[in-house]
Structure formats: C-alpha cells, structure tokens
Structure 1
Amino acid sequence: MIHDIAVIGAGMAGASLAAELAPHARVLLLEAEDAPGYHATGRSAAFWEECYGGPGVVPLTRASGAYLAEHGFLTPRGALYIGREEDRAAMDAFRASYDGTGVALERLTPAALADIVPHIRPAWSEALHQPACADIDVARLHQHYLGLARRGGVAIACRARVAGLVRESGAWTITTERGDTHRAATIVNAAGAWADEIARAAGVHPVGIAPFRRTVAVLRVAPQAPADLPLVIDVGGSFYFKPDAGRLWLSPHDEIPSEPCDAAPEELDVAIAIDRFQNVTDWRIEAVERRWAGLRSFAPDRMPVYGFASGTEGFFWFAGQGGFGIQTAPAAARLAAQLLLGQGADAMTARIDASVYAPTRFAVALQSA
C-alpha cells in the first residue's frame, strides 16, 4: 500500500498534523520510540503563554488559544515577567516588542508584585502582568490528537525508527531499523530534535535545526506555594517557576546545545536553578523531589519551519518549534495541513502569514553554504 502522507514523529507536532490530515488522506504516523510523546511532548512545562517564543510566534499561539480553551485543555494561570530596577529598560523594550500583536501586558507596582508573589526579595521590583497565560493539559491534548488520528483511519507504527529514505517512481520508500518498509507519496519531517537527520537521510539539505537541553526541577518549599501563583519568568531569561500540586516547578531557562538524544538533567543545571531561585525569593527549599530534562529544537532564526523543501519532491518540513510547539499545536497543524493539501486558510489560520515559516527563507544561506 502506498500512503498519501507519512508523518515521521508522533509527538505533539506529528500527532496533531496526522489528526488534521486524517479526513483528507491516507496517513501513516511513524514513531521511533515504544510509544508516542516520549521526548519533548512528554517533558513539557505545560503552559500557554502569548509572549513565549517571541512576537513572530504570537499569531500561531493566539490562533490556537480558542481551540485549546473550547476543548477544555487550558486552566487560567496568568504570568509575570519580573526584573530589578536595572532591568527597567529591558522591561520597556520587551513590552514594546509586542505592540500591535494583541498581547496584553500590564505594568505592576512593586507592592502589587509582592502581594502576588509571596517571599519575593525586594530587589525584584519590576513586573509585567500577562493575564491570558494558562496551564495546558499536555498529556490529554496529545491523546486527543492521537485519538482523532486513529478514528480518522491513520495507521500508527511505533518502534519504527527511520533508517533509510529513498524516492523512486513518485513515492518514498521508508525503511525502519527493524527492517520494515513503508511507501508514501509525501513524507512530513516532524522528527523534532532529529529533523535535520531525517532531512539528510532523504537527501535534503538540512536547515540547521539544533536541539538544546532544558532542565526542570520540582521543589517542595516551605511555606507551600499558593495554588494561584502565576507563572513567574525572569525578563532576562535566567529562570521561570510555577506551582503544581503544592510544589514548584523551577527551570534555569537553560539552553545547552545537545546531540539528539534521550535528554537527562545535569546536577550542575539543577544547582544553578536553585541558586537563581534563592536570589529571587526567600522560600525555604525542603527537597528536590523530581528533575528531568528535554530537548527544544530551533531553526537558526528561532522560528518554526513549515513547508515543502526546495528541490526535493514530496518532502515537507514541520519542525523547529522550540519550546512553543505545544501551545501552537492547533493552529500549526491546521496551517501545515492546508499547505500539504493545497487548501486555503480558514477562520483559525486566516491571520497567519505562512510565508514567514517557509523553509525557502533559508535558500540564500543554503546556496552559499
């Protein structure tokens, strides 16, 4: 059997796209691991934040919000970007960068900040409030898309790590490490940290998608963190923390270059996170109960890559979503499906300029490489 489309990677990106394609095409979803969502999807910090990813990602995030809310995947949280007095100019620049995007950012007084974030040290006096931020039920969202895909007739193959890709007679032959073969007219590269490896296997010039390790630790603090504490982010990008089930999730906001792998946390990164947290608050840390790491993969300009590769028939990029791939999944998948199927925009994607995410934006750099 020749499938119309084979999607490589069954994390949030691949699952959501397969679900969007299912009513219109014969789709195969290939996953290298024993189960979908083992890597970045299963290790997400799980929030929907309009500023996350930068102004260029805002259209995808905002277009996804209604779908996520209507299907019950969001719980209101709110976010605070904080800084010290010397960060005031950076705060102003950060706020100005979102002018015209529809993102609401409200400056708070030091007293208001102290009321919202107990135990914050007085030096941290600057704050911007982003009220629309919400927690995402990532596991349920991922299962939602996998369920839609299965009910739509998508064939899902796990333990199907791609070993070879050959195009002949208008179709791709996909060989897995187990020796299985599949055929598809078009392949979608939704392989996350492995996206450039998949491109090379297909004879497509990689666009420079690079994985970076991000660390999260779960802290038990005293007194217990309030359940309604917002997501708190350093405007300088050196930490964030949020409450979860009476604990605090803390990250040093690290981006450590990595090979594609099953990422594991480093003790040094956890220690750096704790040191930064203690410089911001006087909460007493009673224990580090859990720690994990995941890979976030970025193109050189830190924008996602959606579209057909130049010069290679039937190869479609759906990668480079960094840390914002979960919160943009509904709109990104809808947009990519429209591009793959040659459909026009609908109400969800009407305000998204697909050209800014096209892989052809790297053509000049690739030609000179």
Structure 2
Amino acid sequence: MNRYDIVIVGAGMAGASLAAAIGDAASVLLIEAEDQPGYHATGRSAAFWSETYGGPGVQPLTTASGPFLNAPPPEYGGESFLLTRGELIMGRGEDAELLDGFERRFAGSGVALRRSRPRDHVPGILPAWNDGLWGPSCADIDVARLHAACLKQARRQGVALRSRAELVSAARQSGGWALELADGGQVGAAVLVDAAGAWADAVARLADVRPLGIQPYRRTVVQVRVDPPAPADLPLVSDVRGGFYFKPEPGGRLWLSPHDETPTDPCDAAPEEFDVALAIDRLQHAVDWRIAAVERKWAGLRSFAPDRLPVYGFAPDTPGFFWFAGQGGFGIQTAPAAARLGAALLLNEPARMAPALDPERYAPARF
C-alpha cells in the first residue's frame, strides 16, 4: 500500500489549487472520480472575478486572490488569468434602497463601487432600469488555463494524480487513514482532505465524519445570439434582486443565467427547460435585444454550507480529516487565496496565509 502525507479528494479547482500550494512540503495524492479533473463545477463556471460576488464574507478571499490571478508567478505561466470587464449591478426605480444597502455592505472594504446609470454601460437597456452600481475591477477569468496551470505546478512538485479513482471507503487507523479507491487501489494517508465539491458531505459520511450540511444547488447558463450583437466591451450585468446576470461572449453572444439555485443531490447536472425559458424572459424584460438563437445550455452545481461561507480546516470531531469545501459559485475567483489558507492550516505554517484572512471565519468548528 502506497502511503502519502495528504490525500486530496477532488481534482477540480479547489483540489488542484490546494495541491499546487502545498507543493513539495508534503507527499500528496490527488484523486478524481471522473475521467478527467474539472468535469463538474470547474468546467462549467461562468468565469468571472467579482469582489462583490458572494458578499462581504467572501470578499476578503476574492480580493486576496486578485494579485495572483492578475500577475501569477512564473511557475504558473506568468501571464494574467484576468481580462478586465467591469460589472453593473442594476435596478429599477423602486430598487434604490436595495442598491444603497448593497453599497453599504462593502463600505470600508476597499472595493470600488459608485452609483451609475445603466444606460451608460448597456445599449438597449429598457427605461425602467434607471439605477445601478458600477464596479470597475470585475474581470473575466481564463478558468481552463488557471486549472491547467495548477495541475501542472502540482505535478511538477511531485503531486501524484489518479483519475477514475473515486473514494470507495475511508477507515481510521493508527496514524491516519486506510483508503480504498474505485480503480482497485489501496492507499494510506496521514490526512484526508475533502475537496469534493457537491460530494463533500458524501465523502465525510464515507469517513464516518459528521456532515456539515453542504447543499448542492443547480445553476443554469444559456448561450444566446442576440440582435443587435452584444458589444464585446459589455460589462457583467446583474439584477440587484438576484433575478439574472449576463456577460458577453465572442461573436456578439451572451452567457445568460436566471440566477437559479435549485436544491439537488450531487449529480451530473443538466438544465431544465423552465429555467432556460425563465432566463430568456428575464433578459427580454431588461433589454430591447431580440433573441436570434439559443445556441447552448448547461447547468452546474454550486455547493454551500449553511451560512454560505466556505469551510476550510480540520474537523473538530475527527483527527486527520480536513474540510476544503462549500465554495458556492465563487470557488474559482477565490482559489489562490483559499489554497494558501488551506496549505497554511494543513502544514501549520501561518506565514503561507494571506495576511488579510481570518481562518476562524471559515473554520468547520463554527457548525
């Protein structure tokens, strides 16, 4: 039986970035149930970096991740993973208090927000949408390149990766864990890291660890071609009431979501026609563009802890079990800072942690 200091369950963005951040400070095995890493949430992300997305509790992780994403070190390729776009959070006249409240939530955080008219940013906006907040820092993320860079850096530092290796059983033994994998492998680990996304509670149950109530929710995204074509410099646009968001894609297209959150079991998520229709209807009540074609539609899972903050740290009830889960829809944009935090906690090296982060805020002991 091969033995590792750390076995990480899940090779999506969470597990891959954590493995890369640990580097050669420990022997690490990264296991993935699917044929390839990033099949679920990572591969279906709407791919933006927004300091307001996820709320004030997530914002420190997002902001701390910005410098890495904008100017990654040479071992991650050295080329920015971001393309600045800007974001508009907009509302109708009756939404002024909601916009005021949104602005107050980020007061003193350093996040730049200013009042702005939607028509100054979105051609074809309907007159009812007459108030908004402009966030200039929002950017697109090259998710595929970021994920690939993390996996490459992890491998370069000696991390082993096994795909089609779902965790079948996990038993505590003296000094760690005895793990059985779906590929027939048996491995030992001093520490078991649960970075399994929508399957995080299921992995905990396998290990006889108390689940935290991490709930997957389905999110729908539709690619539409509109007439007139969407401008390439259109910002990320969202409804302050949480009814929709959209962003431009090449060729005058849009990625559009009804901002749905439908509770579901962990699964290979697929879009529902109702949610696709809802997204289109909400867009047509915001802009005067014609929907020329629905070209693609897909769904992904966003998994939240009960308080909607991520969970990073050792389980208080089970030695050697480490939670790295509950990232919701913001796991990509917070990955660099979260990985540094996770590595610091795993290795007991506080200096690895971004100074602005409070690990107690995300500790599993809060539940």
**TM-score bracket for this pair, using the shorter chain length:** over 0.9
Q: Does 1:295 align with 2:326?
A: no
Q: CA deviation at 1:107?
A: 0.1
| Counterpart position of 1:152 | 157
TM-score (norm 1): 0.96
SS at match of 1:89: helix
Alpha-carbon distance in 2 for matches of 1:142, 1:160: 19
Alpha-carbon distance in 2 for matches of 1:115, 1:349: 37
TM-score (norm 2): 0.96
Q: Does 1:163 align with 2:164?
A: no
Please tell me the residue identity of whatever aligns with 1:236: R
Alpha-carbon distance in 1 for matches of 2:209, 2:306: 17
Matches for 1:215-226 after TM superposition, within 5 Å: 215-226=220-231
Q: CA deviation at 1:115?
A: 3.0
Match of 1:93 among 91, 101, 121: 101
Q: Does 1:175 align with 2:180?
A: yes
Alpha-carbon distance in 1 for matches of 2:216, 2:290: 33
SS at match of 2:57: helix
Please tell me the residue identity of whatever aligns with 1:304: P
Matches for 1:125-204 after TM superposition, within 5 Å: 125-204=130-209
Match of 1:247 among 249, 253, 263: 253
Match of 1:351 among 345, 349, 356: 356
| Counterpart position of 1:281 | 287
Please tell me the residue identity of whatever aligns with 2:107: D
Q: CA deviation at 1:169?
A: 1.6
Please tell me the residue identity of whatever aligns with 1:20: A
SS at match of 2:279: helix
Q: Does 1:311 align with 2:312?
A: no
Q: Does 1:107 align with 2:99?
A: no
Q: Does 1:63 align with 2:71?
A: no
Alpha-carbon distance in 2 for matches of 1:270, 1:243: 17
Q: CA deviation at 1:182?
A: 1.2
Q: Are the counterparts in 2 of residues 210 and 299 from structure 1 also a CA contact under 8 Å?
A: yes
Gaps of 5+ in 1: 363-369
Aligned residues: 358
Q: CA deviation at 1:180?
A: 1.7
Q: Are the counterparts in 2 of residues 335 and 345 from structure 1 also a CA contact under 8 Å?
A: no
Q: CA deviation at 1:277?
A: 0.4
| Counterpart position of 1:325 | 331
| Counterpart position of 1:36 | 37
- Percent identity reads 63
CA deviations on 1:31-89 (whole Å, 9 max, x unpaired) are 00000000000000000000000000111000000000003100000000000000000
Deviates more, 1:96-105 or 1:286-295: 96-105
Alpha-carbon distance in 2 for matches of 1:4, 1:94: 44
Alpha-carbon distance in 1 for matches of 2:317, 2:232: 52
Alpha-carbon distance in 1 for matches of 2:180, 2:200: 16
Please tell me the residue identity of whatever aligns with 1:174: L
Please tell me the residue identity of whatever aligns with 1:258: T
| Counterpart position of 2:24 | 23
CA deviations on 1:208-254 (whole Å, 9 max, x unpaired) are 00000000000000111000000000000010000010210000000
Please tell me the residue identity of whatever aligns with 2:245: Y
Q: CA deviation at 1:167?
A: 1.1
Q: Does 1:47 align with 2:53?
A: no
Please tell me the residue identity of whatever aligns with 1:315: F
Please tell me the residue identity of whatever aligns with 2:340: R
Alpha-carbon distance in 2 for matches of 1:20, 1:241: 32
CA deviations on 1:320-340 (whole Å, 9 max, x unpaired) are 000000000000000000000
| Counterpart position of 1:367 | none
Q: CA deviation at 1:171?
A: 1.9
Alpha-carbon distance in 2 for matches of 1:291, 1:356: 36
Matches for 1:71-90 after TM superposition, within 5 Å: 71=72, 72-90=80-98
Alpha-carbon distance in 1 for matches of 2:121, 2:202: 45
Match of 2:235 among 230, 236, 248: 230
Q: Are the counterparts in 2 of residues 18 and 154 from structure 1 also a CA contact under 8 Å?
A: yes
SS at match of 1:22: helix
